[in-house]
Structure 1
Amino acid sequence: MMSLRKVYIITGAVILTVFLGLVAFTTWYTVDESEQAVILTFGKVEDGINEPGLHFKLPWPIQSVEKLSKETFSLQFGYQQEDGEIKEFPDETKMITGDENIVLADMVVQWKITDPEKYLFNSSDPKEILYDATSASVRSIIGNSKIDDALTSGKAEIEAEVRELLAHLIEKYDIGISILAVKLQDVELPNSDVRKAFTDVTDARETMNTKINEANKYRNQKINEAQGEKDALISRAQGDKAARVERARGDVAVFNELYSQYKNSPEITRQRLIIETLEQVLPGSEIYIMNDEGNTLKYFPIRPLEKAQPQTGGEGNSENTEGSSENTEGGKEKNG
């Protein structure tokens, strides 16, 4: 039979081997570049490790290591995609808008672990908390939005508001994660009839906007044309004004010149003005210079002299002399 001493020796060797094995295999660990780790001493967090490489610690069960990923995770709210197949959960995505319409809204939330200690020990299931907070956030924002905004141009604003509210909730829950982005995947109506009716409404609204834009374009065109006509009329009026002012200034200058001549020779200037006025008033009349003495009419024929003035030579002079003598004789005869 084996002696008691041998039993002790074998048992001690086994224990030593186990201990050395634990020391050899549990006193070191490696952290990958995409990982972060925390050291637990008897279950209590001592330190966080973010640097990749080889690290050492006390052997198990004194210290242990928990490794978490640094990658960005995606939370799929309202659907699940696996192996290229999409499985939808309409009961989870059905919600009421602020104007009392029903829509189906699913979403993707991108998040990452930023505090491993809080992620491990501040909650039993951080992912479930994140999912519930996402549901509460999107329902709250959709519930305060109109259906038109949710289905068309208001998605970006809704995403921003959901992200802000979700980040506030996660910070309040303090579960060691951060929200990076929120993206609405699909926002649609619950059945085909409702979708068709909404599509018709949307088409009618687009047609209305098109007509309004065309009317505004026509109005702007007419306003521009009217403005151009107004500017042209103003320009012409200003031109007429300037012309009349200059004409008036010319008339004033002429009047001042006449007045200066009138002061020097009043009678001559008066006679000249009378003759010029008669020429303007009666441009086609015959002008005679007459001198009445008694009952006999005597006149001096200016118009024949004006017609004969361009002619030169003795014949013309003799004719004028004869005409004058005839007129003189005729005057004598009238006097006789």
Structure 2
Amino acid sequence: MSVKRILTIAGMAVSGLVLIVLAFTTWYTVDEGEQVVIITFGKADETVTESGLKFKLPWPVQKVEKLSKETFSTRFGYNQDEDGNLISYDKETKMITGDEYIVVADLVVQWKITEPVKYLFNAEDPRELLHDATAASIRSIIGSSPIDDALTDGKAEIEAETRDLLGTLIDTYDIGISVQGVKLQDVELPNEEVRSAFTAVTDARETKSTKINQAKKYENQKKNEATGERDAILSGAQGDKTSRIEQAHGDVAVFNKLYEEYRNNQDITRERLILETLEQVLPGAKIYIMNDGEGTVKYLPIQPPQQAAPQAPAQDGQEEGGENNGQ
């Protein structure tokens, strides 16, 4: 085989290889869950977020870096091995609360890549930077929170404050990441002895709260009863007041009427008032008014007329005519 033929075959092979490289490096696809950064001679040139078949200049002129649009989850304080077993990092998760207790806290940070170019070029390892910022944020928030909030009903507030602080740090680092949420997985005391002591304190505090609530309930009950009694007394007094006022009005009307009668006929009215007064002072007594002069004694009985006694029924066998004959 001649040298010319060998060169010809080699040229054809190189040309075929170039064509193959061009064919495989000119076209690329973007999936629905992907975003692509086109890099021209090592410099970010364009970001593609629409899915489909795309065209670019062949390598080594241009190349693409594909990044996911999904929401990532970064674990802080623990991890999971290939078998699904959890691996905890106690040195990483131990932190001091605002009232100087030691707690162990781990959490999950959810985040997305919102600016691919910054994610690729503004930090050597954005995930490591996110991990460090998470550690700084959770330690800062836990360090300013009492242990009761960290272990009981203050977790939601701690999560919100940690998310805000972490978001501020990530914005400062400007690495193209957006923090979507922070979720505390577990916050507990470091060992069983401390947990038992804290549980006893918590139980005592809950007992105290229960007793206080019961005392307030009893206080409110007694206050309501006293208020009811007071209202009843005030209502009765108001009714008695109204009754006395109406009675006084009636007495005034009676007095005015008597006064008019007295003005028209003083003697008769005076005697009538005397007799009515005697009836009220001596109820049921037999009162006679007599004269002291000579002659026939005259008296006036001041009493209601007596009713005639009922007549006894006739005896059996006794006739009315026989009685008349016996008289």
Say yes or no: TM over 0.5. Answer: yes
> Does the 8 A contact of 1:290 with 1:298 survive in 2?
no
CA distance in 1, matches of 2:302, 2:100: 108
CA distance in 2, matches of 1:185, 1:104: 11
> Does the 8 A contact of 2:287 with 2:302 survive in 1?
no
Match of 1:215 in 2: 215
CA distance in 1, matches of 2:283, 2:29: 124
Using the size of structure 2 for normalisation, the TM-score is: 0.89
Matched, 1:155 2:152: no
- The change in CA–CA distance for 1:180 and 1:297 in structure 2 (over 3 A counts) is farther
Match of 1:282 in 2: 282
Amino acid at match of 1:301: Y
Amino acid at match of 2:114: T
Match of 1:122 in 2: 122
> Does the 8 A contact of 1:104 with 1:190 survive in 2?
yes
1:217-239 C-alpha deviation (Å, 9 max, x unpaired): 11111111111111111121111
> Does the 8 A contact of 2:35 with 2:67 survive in 1?
yes
Matched, 1:186 2:186: yes
Tell me the secondary structure at the aligned position of residue 277 of structure 1: helix
- The change in CA–CA distance for 1:269 and 1:305 in structure 2 (over 3 A counts) is closer
Amino acid at match of 1:303: P
Match of 2:104 in 1: 104
CA distance in 2, matches of 1:64, 1:41: 7
Q: Which moved more, 1:208-217 or 1:128-137?
A: 208-217
1:93-127 C-alpha deviation (Å, 9 max, x unpaired): 11111111111111110111111101000000000
Match runs of 1:161-180 below 5 Å = 161-180=161-180
Amino acid at match of 2:99: D
- The change in CA–CA distance for 1:74 and 1:308 in structure 2 (over 3 A counts) is closer
> Does the 8 A contact of 2:290 with 2:300 survive in 1?
no
Structure with bigger helix share is 1
Which consecutive unaligned segments of at least 5 residues does structure 2 have?
310-327
Match of 2:268 in 1: 268
Q: Which moved more, 1:111-120 or 1:134-143?
A: 111-120
Deviation at 1:137, TM superposition (A): 0.1
Amino acid at match of 1:63: Q
Amino acid at match of 1:195: R
1:205-262 C-alpha deviation (Å, 9 max, x unpaired): 1111111111111111111111111111112111111111111111011011111111
Amino acid at match of 1:164: D
> Does the 8 A contact of 1:288 with 1:300 survive in 2?
no
CA distance in 1, matches of 2:64, 2:22: 14
Amino acid at match of 2:223: I
Match of 1:20 in 2: 19
> Does the 8 A contact of 1:141 with 1:158 survive in 2?
yes
Deviation at 1:304, TM superposition (A): 9.8
Amino acid at match of 1:302: L
CA distance in 2, matches of 1:205, 1:161: 26
Amino acid at match of 2:9: I
What percent of counterpart residues are identical? 63
Tell me the secondary structure at the aligned position of residue 107 of structure 1: strand
Which of 295, 301, 304 is the matching residue for 1:303?
A: 301
Match of 1:33 in 2: 32
> Does the 8 A contact of 2:80 with 2:86 survive in 1?
yes
Deviation at 1:305, TM superposition (A): 9.5
Match of 1:256 in 2: 256
Match of 1:44 in 2: 43
CA distance in 2, matches of 1:210, 1:147: 21
Deviation at 1:58, TM superposition (A): 0.6
CA distance in 2, matches of 1:151, 1:260: 90
Match of 1:321 in 2: none
Amino acid at match of 1:9: T
Deviation at 1:274, TM superposition (A): 1.6
1:264-302 C-alpha deviation (Å, 9 max, x unpaired): 112221221122112212224332233334xx5964233
- The change in CA–CA distance for 1:29 and 1:270 in structure 2 (over 3 A counts) is same
Which consecutive unaligned segments of at least 5 residues does structure 1 have?
312-336
Tell me the secondary structure at the aligned position of residue 201 of structure 1: helix
Match of 1:88 in 2: 88
Deviation at 1:56, TM superposition (A): 0.6
Match of 2:72 in 1: 73
Deviation at 1:310, TM superposition (A): 6.1
CA distance in 1, matches of 2:242, 2:286: 39
- The change in CA–CA distance for 1:107 and 1:290 in structure 2 (over 3 A counts) is same
Deviation at 1:57, TM superposition (A): 0.5
> Does the 8 A contact of 1:110 with 1:179 survive in 2?
yes
CA distance in 1, matches of 2:263, 2:179: 103
Match of 1:239 in 2: 239
1:37-58 C-alpha deviation (Å, 9 max, x unpaired): 1111111111111111110111
CA distance in 1, matches of 2:8, 2:230: 119
CA distance in 2, matches of 1:304, 1:250: 27
Amino acid at match of 2:135: S
